[in-house]
Copies of this chain bind each other. A is one copy, B any other.
Amino acid sequence: MAIVGLGPGPADWMTPEAGSAIAAASDIVGYGPYLERLSLKPAQRAHASDNRAEFDRGRLALMLAAEGRAVAVVSGGDPGVFAMAAAVFEAIEDMPTWRALDVSVVPGVSAMQAAAARLGAPLGHDFCAISLSDNLKPWWIVERRLKAAAEGDFVIAIYNPASKARPTRIVDAFDLMRGVKNAATPVAFARAVGRADEALTLTTLGAADPSLADMATLVIIGSSETRFIARDGAPPWMLTPRSYGAQR
């Protein structure tokens, strides 16, 4: 069984290993829109599921694999970064007989990396990745991590900034960040990178309207070293340099 990262959207960002793993599978399990990206052969069976049912999807994939099917579980981005790999291994942990299955993870380009590529080099130095989803963790640990990330002066990449059920998590996060970081800190909202409706918004912590972030948005908040490089007739580049404290 393979847990496969499709990358952020375009086929150009999917690795050959991911393509081979999907081609070799009899059964492909995943969130419906991810399955729609694939060109499956008539003999291949697609098992589409809702986006929120990650754990159930992992269990389904493992049940099929235990029956001897050649299974690929597909994930957008990298399956190891806020995606299917953890859900599958949680299911394996719960069911000792599944520990004997042959499971591999096929890495992919994550949404954070695609966003960074479009922006310049915002993750050019030490960074954190934090999901604001509080479906499976208490909000206090999100707050503790945001504060610690600010205290460490990391660049902060925020996944799942908002959901239909909780649209204001990112507003709460910005309120917290504004209390501890400089208002001039560069911020980027990168929406649907690699898709037709891709949109990049560059702003600052003080000026940002975080309520614009939706489920498809990746938010990057800079460190004290992050800056914009202005350009004529084009949006600025966002750079976090490799040096710290202007040692260069």
Query: A27 contacts the other chain (Cβ, under 8 Å)?
Result: no
Pick the contact of A127: B16, B100, B129 (CB < 8 A). Answer: B129
Size of the A side of the interface (Cβ < 8 Å), in residues, is 80
A-side interface mostly: mixed
Query: A196 contacts the other chain (Cβ, under 8 Å)?
Result: no
Query: A145 contacts the other chain (Cβ, under 8 Å)?
Result: yes
Q: Please provide the chain A residues from 93 to 134 with a CB less than 8 Å away from any CB of chain B in the complex.
A: 93, 99-100, 103-110, 113-114, 116-118, 120-131
Measured CB to CB, the nearest residue on chain B to A114 is B107
Is B12 within 8 A of A16, CB to CB? yes
Is B12 within 8 A of A15, CB to CB? yes
Residues of B within 8 A of A88 (CB): 121
Is A124 within 8 A of B243, CB to CB? no
Residues of B within 8 A of A99 (CB): 229-232
Interface, chain A (partner B; CB < 8 A): 7, 10-17, 20, 54-55, 78-82, 85-90, 92-93, 99-100, 103-110, 113-114, 116-118, 120-131, 136-138, 141, 144-145, 147-149, 151-154, 227, 229-232, 237, 239-245, 247-248
